[in-house]
Structure 1
Amino acid sequence: MNLSFSTPKKPDLKARLALRNGKWKAALPFFTEQANVNEQNYAQWNLLGDIQYRAGDMVAALESWQKAMNGYAQESLHENVLGIGRKIAKRCPEETGVHRDISEALLGLEYFADAISSFRSFVKLAKHSSISEKKSWFRKIMQCEIRQPHLHEELLHIYEECGLEDIELQRDIQAYVRRMQESIDTATTADEAEVFETPIEKQSEVYEPAADGLMSIESDWTSNDFSILKQDSNGYQPMQSHPVEDHSQPAFESIEVQQEDDLPIGQGKDHYDLGVVYSEMKLWDAAITEFQTARRDRSLRSRATIELANCLKNSNDPHRALRVLEEESNSNGNEAEAQSELFYHMGLLNEVLGNGSAAKQCFEKVAPDSAHAADAALRMSRTSVQSN
């Protein structure tokens, strides 16, 4: 006779165990219920879409992802829209209409060149796109201030490619292009006038590069070299710049601007453990959300930050991952062991980004008694050989 008094597992625990074991269909009922309980929890809909996709239900996954995208778009969370949109474009290339959502998200982020490129993909690939969808996009882009003249030409070209026979819209676009070009010419004229009005005898004081440590007109601004802003910094120099296309990846709220209260000590552990589960299953979006919450527990902050950076790297966003680690390293609230761990992972990311000298500086700061000391020394020596 079985006298076992073991308590039954809670539904959420059973669902998490099912996810961990790859039993997607077994986990679906619980997560579907969670999404329907709060339909405005768009992260939950995004996660549900991931589970449905792995369970083989592509139609349901697309519906969940689309609901999450629409919700994020209403809240102007353009990075989240971009992350889900690119995920759909990668996993379901036949869903060509998503390129319009990607383009509108890029407009919101003011990446105008990429936005126009994505809309061109929509025009060429979405054979059943409606005229109203195309007109709506042109109305939206005319609400932006595009200061690059070559993009004005691109805008006129893509209007011709759309084949729209709307005289009023065409005139509006032409008027918008003229207005933008006039504003550029006006700004250029004002800048030139300001230069000529500057007294000649005072120019050496105003424009001397070493006079006050500020950026001068002799500085190579076009090279995106911002090292001049850190002239008195002797330590590790963070990454300098990154391409526009790497800005928008997974569906999560901007990490740098997120301001939330700290959690009581110990309350972040469940979120951290769940983030580990999601990352093991390569559900990066869900893992990022959990590690962001776990970071608010000061006892887990450095560990959760490192895991968060790994998820961002695996989501093809190493630049953001590096920024997250840099911010945590500069917070001055970490113990020596945690700081060494941060420097080690910053070195790895700099290696991925091709920043050899920055990677070497990070590895040099890894403590000798750190668990990563041997690997850091090996990588540092390898970097030195390559630089020579």
Structure 2
Amino acid sequence: MVDFRLGEEQEALVASVREFAREQVAPVIADHYERKTFPYDLVRQMGKMGLFGLPFAEEHGGMGGDYFTLCLALEELARIDSSVAITLEAGVSLGAMPIYRFGTPAQKAEWLPRLTSGDALAAFGLTEPGTGSDAGATTTRAVLDETTNEWVINGSKAFITNSGTDITCLVTVMAVTGVKDDGSKELSTIIVPSGTPGFTVAPGYSKVGWCASDTHELAFDDVRVPAANLLGERGRGFAQFLRILDEGRIAIAALSVGLAQGCVDESVKYAKDRVAFGQPIGNYQAVQFMIADMEMRAHTARVAYYDAAARMLAGEDFKHQAALAKLYASEAAMDNARFATQVHGGYGFMNESAVGRFYRDAKILEIGEGTSEVQRMIIARGLGL
């Protein structure tokens, strides 16, 4: 029997994160969004709640939970705000998880306690200005100087989340480290601590959405780090990052579901209160049908990411299901944001309204961690095409 009901501990976590989002995030996030400031106090509170340590073992300062538990937290945060949710998602899934999955005991001991506590953030340096979805076309290079036993890194990265905050401690960078026997690029991942000479963080982007999250372009000009900063096996960087991205797509699906459900929440509330032509607009079938469709999309997307997460935790191949969940959930979020704005009319077009922020935040969900086109490619390949 398939059972998607949550256990008692999971229900308790959902309730606590929901309360935090409504009581702590909702009252202040609009101001952060408008001023484009990073919500350090909210991040600090999430750290104290243990959210950054949810899927990590207790020996590394984690909470001993699993990846699905992280997804539940992301969904609840995104029902109120996506900037806070993506800060957690990127900090855990893209920042700490590569070290947890592939790091040496020394690397884990050095970095994970700070990352799992939320005292520090890490970033995932994959995308480059000229490569986009074609991650295999990476041009950033790292050469091993055998005289000093150091990697010398040159290149740049673009659109990197959590890379320039006051508490960012490292960026994991994918770089070309040589040429394989078949002539293809040898790609490896290397840990670059913040503040390393030659590592420059550009000013934050001016973004359409996620305006309270941290995103920068990065430059590496003869950046030197110890050879021991190699993360995982040399030449396995691309495979490692694909694993991280597969997991991350489930997390982005969960975040998308949160935004989609937030659109339902706000629309139901507004439809009950807004009076037009002598009665609440929720009495009109046209509005009822719009909101019913929104609920259908949110529910179906939730089932999709639950399924992908269950397969992942069972040790099964989940790439296909992760792509399905990410594709459907991100497009559901975009559709729901559009419908919620329509339900709210002129008020929905105001940045001060929650649905106005939802509308601006939704589009990136169809782009980040694999565009919708990339997800369709993965799905088609999974069908043998």
Q: Which structure has more strand as a fraction of its residues?
A: 2
Q: Which structure has more helix as a fraction of its residues?
A: 1
Question: With structure 2 as the length reference, what TM-score do the two structures score?
Answer: 0.29
Greater RCO, CA 8 A, separation 6+: 2
Q: Which has the larger radius of gyration?
A: 1
Question: With structure 1 as the length reference, what TM-score do the two structures score?
Answer: 0.28
